[in-house]
Amino acid sequence: MKLQPGAALTTAMVALTVTTGMVEAVSFLALGPVFTAVQTGNTLFLGFAVVGSGEFSAAASGASLIGFAVGAALGARLSSRADALGRRWLVRALVAESVLLAVAGLTGWTAGRSGHPPAFRQYVVVALVALAMGMRNVTTLRASVPDMPTTVITRTMTALIGTSPFGLDSRIPSGPRYELRRTASVGAMFAGGLLGAWMLHEAVRPPVVLLVTSACVLAVALALALTCICTPGHHPPDP
């Protein structure tokens, strides 16, 4: 059965949330401790590292923050330009993200064998992944699918709990559709982290996990390209 444009886009956001969990598993467990999508954590890690508290690297956190900022700026410019020309900006943005993740995986191909990759290469991989995640954040912000940011779930989880029988908040939108999206978002992030951590636990090399993640993002882009969304003239929430 063919999905409607709105359903197809929401399904894509769920799949992308899974890939975020996979990316962060590699970032934190193999390259870090550092995040590449959740920059709130990196900002805190950078503060911790500056005062020498814990085993945090100011260089790794800085590389991630800089890479993310460049990716967000680049993603905004490329998507806006493609949108202005009437092109499929969402598909193009996801393809670009997939390429960046693949490059990061290939760059780190020799890393992980001893568990201690060269520092410079490690930082380059962190920056490349963060670059991809910066573009991702712009992409999902432009897509404007409610409760599906794909890279963070704090607000989504808050809304899910706030509208539950335990919260009954009257100002947060509620209903089966909202609850389903929010539950799917939280579950997808958990599933992605679980999958990424499991792959690493089973001795799958971190670059391979990144390449698998790249393939997943590319598959989402191709699936969206085959639907009726992302065509010229369409705007969010069905870009």
What's the one-letter identity of residue 159?
A
Report which of 192, 181, 188, 176 is spatially closest to residue 148, judged by C-alpha positions.
Answer: 181
* Most distant CA pair in the chain, distance: 56
Q: For helices 119-143 and 5-26, give the axis angle rounded to 10 degrees.
A: 160
DSSP the chain: -PPPHHHHHHHHHHHHHHHHHHHHHHIIIII-S--SS-HHHHHHHHHHHHTT-SS--HHHHHHHHHHHHHHHHHHHHHHHHHHHTT--HHHHHHHHHHHHHHHHHHHTTTTTSSS---HHHHHHHHHHHHHHHHHHHHHHHHHT-TT--SS--HHHHHHHHHTSTTT--SSS--SHHHHHHHHHHHHHHHHHHHHHHHHHHTT--HHHHHHHHHHHHHHHHHHHHTSS-S-TT--TT--
Q: What confidence category does residue 82 fall into, taking pLDDT thresholds of 50, 70 and 90?
A: confident
Work out the burial of residue 141: count CB atoms within 10 Å of its CB; fewer than 13 is exposed, 13-18 middle, 19 or more buried.
Answer: middle
Domains of the chain (ranges plus CATH)? 5-225 (1.20.1250)
The pLDDT tens digits for 103-128 are 999 998 765 444 454 578 889 999 99
> Which range scores top for mean pLDDT: 80-84, 87-91, 119-123, 206-210?
206-210
- Cα 237 from chain centroid (whole Å): 19
CB 193 within 8 A of CB 25: yes
Q: pTM for this one?
A: 0.88
* pLDDT higher than 50, residue 36: yes
**C-beta separation of 9 from 229 below 8 A:** yes
Instruction: Report the pLDDT value the prediction gives residue 169, as an integer from 0 to 100.
Output: 79
Structure tokens at 221: 């882009």
- pLDDT value for 146: 87
User: Do 24 and 35 contact (CB within 8 A), yes or no?
Assistant: yes
Alpha-carbon gap, residue 174 to 37, rounded angstroms? 28
Q: What's the whole-number mean pLDDT along residues 157-176?
A: 86
Lowest mean pLDDT segment, chosen from 74-83, 105-114, 164-173, 211-220: 105-114
- CA 216 to CA 97: how far, in whole Å? 11
Q: 231 pLDDT exceeds 50?
A: no
On the question of pLDDT at 190 being above 50, the answer is: yes
